[in-house]
């Protein structure tokens, strides 16, 4: 608290609150003295912006929001449907009661709707590396996180063929716990992760998910003083480096104009990270048009709103607002390097009947390499909705 100068910049520049200077300073004062806040942070998307804009580089307000959320959850508990949407398979780190059925989970339920080639891909990933396998010095590793299980078809690229895939359905990077303020469970999960990654000491591990990359690159070292002793590398940085070295050869430039949905974790990692992704996308497409809120001012896709308030209706409305803003650029495609953003925006587009074309950057790369991606986000959005409804029926509870 002592490092905070109470300037209110965090709440002034928050893309969700955007308070005037006087209101922002008053709100900070109320937070400091544990008084009821005038602005209840119901619009918070847990997007880390308050930490980004702090001139002192501290995370007091964000930490307070997470602390508040944890107290609410501790007092009221979760709505039952939240348990269906989190990638939890380990009872020792779960915030849910022991009676929670770990087989009734969206990440399990969606498997019934995998295409045949997705099932083969999952089988290939699981066979790629086992805990009994000897790790060689020149091995290259790529970590596939939780949300890659929801649409495996996106990640079937030939450039990954020579890599060892780290894919374990019992492992989560812990980001959902962190965004929800469940610090006790973040710490429990750290113990699981420390044991799991102990065999990768001094190795480079490439992350597809920016959330997972940020957790290991920044959040764990800075906020929990934890070092996993491997070097995290972001997938688009690795691809861009290998394109520049001539190891990955693009066959064509795509005749698409695109607008970019930045991830919340992308904003947290700074302008250098955001511009590096734009450099990569610019190699693949003809034109980038930024939306009204872009780069560090970018709005959340809606998923972060669900993380902080567990309300799917608020999450939907926030995501729809963002989708409409992206559509106003009138570009051919909406593109994101975050699979969570791709899935969430695709779900919202499907629910409101929009034909918006939403692509993951890896799908653009696949096309630029001369391959045709199995682009089926609309179908997978329908699959996810049906799977979720099945879970509600199976558990007889909302």
Residues 232 and 207 grouped into a single domain: yes
Please give the residue range of the domain that contains residue 336.
250-395
**Cβ neighbours for 199, distance < 8 A, ≥ 6 positions apart:** 131, 135
Asked if residue 267 lies in contact with residue 223, where contact means CB atoms within 8 angstroms, the answer is no
At residue 368, does pLDDT exceed 90? yes
Query: 356 lies in a domain?
Result: yes
pLDDT at 99: 45
Degrees, nearest 5: CA angle 158-209-52: 145
Report the range of poorest mean pLDDT among 27-41, 105-119, 276-290. Answer: 27-41
Q: Which helix (H) or strand (E) holds 52?
A: helix 49-53
Separation CA 168–CA 197 (nearest Å): 11
Average pLDDT over residues 138-155: 88
Separation CA 386–CA 84 (nearest Å): 13
Residues 260 and 387 grouped into a single domain: yes
Phi, psi of 298 (to 5 degrees): -60, 145
Confidence of residue 224 (pLDDT cuts 50, 70, 90): very high
At residue 72, does pLDDT exceed 80? no
CATH classification at residue 303 = 3.40.50
DSSP secondary structure code for residue 217 in this structure: I
At residue 53, does pLDDT exceed 80? yes
Asked if residue 167 lies in contact with residue 128, where contact means CB atoms within 8 angstroms, the answer is yes
pLDDT tens track for 165-201: 888 877 889 898 898 888 888 888 899 899 989 889 8
Residues 117 and 192 grouped into a single domain: yes
Separation CA 128–CA 161 (nearest Å): 10
Residues 90 and 233 grouped into a single domain: yes
Report the range of poorest mean pLDDT among 51-55, 75-79, 313-317, 322-326. Answer: 75-79
Residues 89 and 234 grouped into a single domain: yes
At residue 291, does pLDDT exceed 80? yes
Confidence of residue 271 (pLDDT cuts 50, 70, 90): very high
Q: What is the pTM of this model?
A: 0.90
Query: 1 lies in a domain?
Result: no
Q: What is the mean pLDDT of the chain?
A: 86
């Amino acid at each position: 608290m002592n490092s905070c100068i109470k300037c209110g910049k965090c709440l002034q520049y928050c893309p969700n609150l955007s308070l005037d200077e006087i209101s922002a300073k008053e709100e900070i004062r109320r937070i400091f003295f544990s008084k009821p806040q005038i602005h209840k942070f119901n619009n918070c998307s847990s997007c880390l912006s308050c930490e980004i804009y702090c001139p002192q580089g501290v995370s007091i307000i964000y930490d307070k929001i997470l602390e508040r959320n944890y107290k609410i959850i501790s007092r009221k508990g979760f709505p039952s449907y939240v348990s269906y949407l989190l990638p939890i398979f380990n009872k020792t780190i779960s915030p849910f009661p022991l009676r929670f059925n770990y087989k009734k989970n969206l990440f399990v339920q969606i498997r019934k709707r995998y295409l045949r080639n997705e099932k083969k891909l999952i089988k290939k990933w699981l066979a790629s590396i086992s805990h009994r396998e000897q790790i060689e010095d020149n091995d290259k590793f790529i970590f596939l996180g939780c949300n890659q299980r929801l649409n495996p078809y996106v990640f079937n690229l030939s450039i990954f063929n020579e890599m060892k895939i780290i894919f374990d359905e019992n492992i989560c990077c812990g980001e959902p716990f962190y965004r929800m303020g469940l610090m006790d469970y973040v710490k429990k999960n750290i113990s699981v992760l420390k044991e799991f990654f102990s065999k990768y000491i001094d190795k480079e591990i490439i992350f597809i998910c920016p959330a997972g990359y940020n957790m290991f690159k920044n959040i764990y070292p800075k906020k929990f003083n934890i070092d996993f002793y491997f070097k995290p590398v972001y997938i688009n940085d690795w691809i861009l480096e290998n394109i520049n070295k001539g190891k990955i050869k693009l066959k064509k430039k795509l005749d698409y104009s695109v607008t970019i949905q930045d991830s919340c974790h992308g904003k947290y990692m700074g302008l250098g990270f955001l511009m590096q992704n734009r450099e990569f996308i610019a190699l693949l497409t003809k034109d980038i048009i930024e939306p009204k809120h872009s780069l560090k001012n970018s709005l959340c896709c809606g998923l972060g709103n669900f993380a902080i308030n567990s309300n799917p209706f608020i999450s939907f409305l926030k995501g729809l607002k963002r989708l409409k803003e992206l559509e106003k650029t009138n570009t051919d495609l909406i593109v994101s390097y975050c699979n969570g953003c791709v899935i969430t925006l695709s779900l919202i587009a499907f629910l409101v009947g929009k034909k918006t074309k939403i692509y993951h950057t890896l799908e653009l790369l696949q096309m630029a390499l001369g391959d045709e991606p199995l682009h089926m986000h609309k179908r997978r959005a329908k699959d996810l909705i049906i799977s979720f409804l099945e879970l509600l029926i199976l558990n007889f509870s909302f």
